[in-house]
Amino acid sequence: MHGQSYQIGEGVTPDRAKARALYEKSCAIDPDFSACDYANELSRTLE
């Protein structure tokens, strides 16, 4: 959710690089957790 905030500028200045880093961090924490799946989906929309 934190990465999504940066991706769309919800409460923060939009920053696609920061969003991508946060998405990657969620997968580094636990690649088998559903948050990683969601982060991967959102990351694809950054391309």
Domain count, the chain: 1
Task: Please report the pLDDT score of residue 19 as a whole number.
Answer: 93
Domain that holds residue 18: 2-44
> Any idea which residue has 């999504």 for tokens?
4
pLDDT digits (tens, 9 = 90+) for 1-47: 888 999 999 999 999 999 999 999 999 999 999 989 999 999 999 87
> CB atoms < 10 A from the CB of 7, how many?
21
pTM of the shown model: 0.80
